[in-house]
Amino acid sequence: MESTAFLEQCQAVVGADAVLTDKQSFLPYLTDVRRRFTGNALAVILPADVGEVSAIMQLCHQYWIPVVPQGGNTGTVLGSVPDSKGNAIVLSLKRMNHILEVDADNNTMTVEAGCILDNIHTAAGQVDRMFPLTLASSGSCMIGGNLAANAGGTSVLRYGTARNLCLGLQVVLPDGIIWDGLYKLRKNNTGYDLRDLFIGSEGTLGIITAAVLKLFPNPRYRQTAFAAVESPSDALNLLNTAKAQADTLLTTFELISRQSLDVVLKHFPDLRPPLSSTSPYHVLMELNGGNSEDALADIMEAILQTAFENGSVVDACIAQSIAQSKTMWMLRENIPEAQARAGKNIKHDISVPVSQIPAFMADTDARLQAAFPGCRMTVFGHLGDGSLHYNVGAPEGIEDDEFLAKQDAVNQVVYDNVVRFNGAISAEHGLGALKHQKNVHYKDDTEIQLMRQIKQAIDPLGLMNPGKVLP
């Protein structure tokens, strides 16, 4: 059989131990992080370097074998797991986990795609630098997947998404050709920016095998604050106050609804809220950098003083120790896990213009309550950059699975309103297999057609991550 010949040749390239064909051994590669779906695969292949990736891709091209690239498999939209057909290979980058170079003078780090994000943070810290991409999954997600999904996180307000934090890429194309674009340049005006084409493409155009990342000075000083606000409009006013007084020192501005905070406190009882307030919303805010600790503290105090005076904040506190700052962060970072422990809900990763967040939330909340009375909103996320995790849970007395059966109707209410407010139905998690059909429905026809033309030009056989991004 052709599949037998294909697998034998793959074993000759990477070694028999790096070609997994027993379903029990490769089951973790087939199941998504939320354990909602388990696909099937011909094999899981674990190359050790870019040459092996290239050779495997040449074989896939020869035998017309679909390929699902996979990093840490932490994605939430079924973008890194295969479908149920069983005719694809999963190509895992986990063995390609070397930091190739740290250039402190150029403020860059060159890494293989399988490097875990926390290890990149550690390597940057060893030369007194920082890589600012910060995600809850940083202990297991890999930089190749972060770039393929154009990950966001809590520092986008200041540093931008993964796309903004990458200077160059090495990519293996569907036919096995290697594009070596590992530029360490901040100015390179020599044609189309192929780097930006592959970042955010979710493995549908090629396999990112290495990257040049931007490093930044390690902040000497931090100030973290937790504030209670009565509405998203008040939170927006606080954001504008913070921007005006802190400028680029403002790194994080996270909105946390009361429901989000309560679910964390219930499922993480060792955590204590920094405020006794019962306000419907809270804000986690952080400043980094500055000339001195006292100067940064003065700026934070001035922000909150102005916010008290203009009525946008009803209570607030500034962390007085590293431990207090960590507690504030844990209240934010543990929301997804607390939600998982509390039960199932219908999740949305959306973005709208920052100025429209309050109006969007008020209007969409009202539409959802009219259509699904009593539904519970767990809303949190990156107000500073206009993206929210806008999650809808079952009303009291309704079983989760009964409510989940209404997912398509709930999604339509939310996504229709996202588009009405000139937003996007995916802010930072990508499209994967969950949202690609909806994206075609909501996105401009010309844009979809251009995407299809790019896909056809680079991957004419349609082998790369089939069923993702474009249906």
Helices (H), 64-131: 117-125
- Residue 27 belongs to a domain with what CATH number? 3.30.43.10
- In a shared domain, residues 301 and 374: no
- Residue 370 belongs to a domain with what CATH number? 3.30.70.2740
Q: How many domains does the chain have?
A: 4
* Residue 74 included in any domain: yes
CA distance 286 to 263: 23
Whether residue 409 has pLDDT greater than 90: yes
- In a shared domain, residues 106 and 209: yes
- In a shared domain, residues 28 and 70: yes
pLDDT, residue 427, reads: 87
The mean predicted confidence, pLDDT, of the chain is 94
* Residue 470 included in any domain: no
* Residue 35 included in any domain: yes
* Residue 441 included in any domain: no
Least confident of 136-140, 241-245, 303-307: 136-140
Q: Which of 64, 92, 120 is the last residue of a domain?
A: 92
Per the model's pLDDT, the better-predicted residue between 136 and 425 turns out to be 425
- In a shared domain, residues 188 and 228: no
- In a shared domain, residues 231 and 324: yes
Q: Which of 217, 247, 271 is the last residue of a domain?
A: 217
| Closest alpha carbon to 247 in 306, 294, 287 | 287
- In a shared domain, residues 189 and 138: yes
* Residue 416 included in any domain: yes
pLDDT of 97-113, one tens digit each?
A: 999 999 999 999 999 99
- In a shared domain, residues 243 and 183: no
pLDDT of 175-234, one tens digit each?
A: 999 999 999 999 999 999 999 999 999 999 999 999 999 999 999 999 999 999 999 999
Q: Identify the H or E element spanning 193.
A: none
Task: Please provide residue 208's backbone torsions phi and psi, each rounded to the nearest 5 degrees.
Answer: -70, 120
CA distance 418 to 409: 14
Q: Identify the H or E element spanning 130.
A: strand 129-130
- Residue 230 belongs to a domain with what CATH number? 3.30.70.2190
Q: Which of 58, 77, 92 is the last residue of a domain?
A: 92
- In a shared domain, residues 184 and 208: yes
Supply the range of the domain harboring residue 47: 2-92
* Residue 166 included in any domain: yes
